[in-house]
Amino acid sequence: MFEQIKLSYDFAALEPHIDELTMQTHYGKHHAAYTNNLNSALEKLPGLAGKSIEDILQNLEAIDDPALRTTVRNNGGGYYNHNLYFDILSPQGGQPPQGKLAEQIEADFGSLEELVKKLTATAASVFGSGWAWLSKDPSGKLVVTSTPNQDNPLMTHGGQLTPILGIDVWEHAYYLKYKNMRADYLKEIFKVIDWNKVAQRYTEA
Ligand code: MN
């Protein structure tokens, strides 16, 4: 049984950048539904028992039944993506990262500001529902990509990328407060991204 990560902050703690009702709905309804649907699908796939979610998502082709494969892709992706997203948000966010990640950002993008610009442009350009990502490749290099729906970088690039930061641009992530203004949400989200959590994921990847 997969379980949602426990939040280290209250639903209202990310105000005014992310509002309380959005957090309640996003974590309590959307993320909960992805998790429940994933667990239900896995009951029909005993061969996957005990596997990590990363392993399952990197090997979706191992699921023979096309309908079950799609269910695991969408809901397993939703489960993994939201665990990552909620984990890297924090009321103490917005401070630049330290250490190896800071050095790699400078090497790959010139500055944190330039990386944020690239992530923002990538997130803004997602048509419909999807995600923008910062991932680490096997050489340690940082890569910015986007995915549709609940796909993620574990499913692309031959499973070579490890996502360390994800920005949800489904409307459910921002519509209650920002309506159709995704650009306004993207300005605010970076004020609650905990770059030290991202740095920790970079080191562990
Ligand atoms: Mn979402």
Task: Compute the distance from residue 172 Cα to the ligand 1 centre, in Å.
Answer: 6
Q: Pick out the chain residues at pLDDT < 50.
A: none
Total structural domains within the chain: 2
Tell whether 154 and 193 lie within a shared domain: yes
| CA distance between the termini of the chain | 24
Q: What is the DSSP letter of 130?
A: E
Tell whether 127 and 165 lie within a shared domain: yes
Model confidence pLDDT, tens digit, residues 80-102? 999 999 999 999 999 999 999 99
Instruction: Report if residue 145 sits inside a domain.
Output: yes
Tell whether 70 and 119 lie within a shared domain: no
Tell whether 74 and 107 lie within a shared domain: no
pLDDT at res. 13: 98
Task: Compute the distance from residue 201 Cα to the ligand 1 centre, in Å.
Answer: 20
Question: Which residue range is the domain that position 144 belongs to?
Answer: 99-204
Task: Compute the distance from residue 173 Cα to the ligand 1 centre, in Å.
Answer: 5
Q: Could you tell me the pTM of the whole model?
A: 0.97
CATH number at residue 66: 1.10.287.990
Task: Compute the distance from residue 103 Cα to the ligand 1 centre, in Å.
Answer: 30
Tell whether 145 and 54 lie within a shared domain: no
CATH number at residue 192: 3.55.40.20
- Edge-first strand order for the sheet with 162-168 is 142-148, 130-136, 162-168
Mean pLDDT of the chain, nearest integer: 97
Tell whether 105 and 197 lie within a shared domain: yes
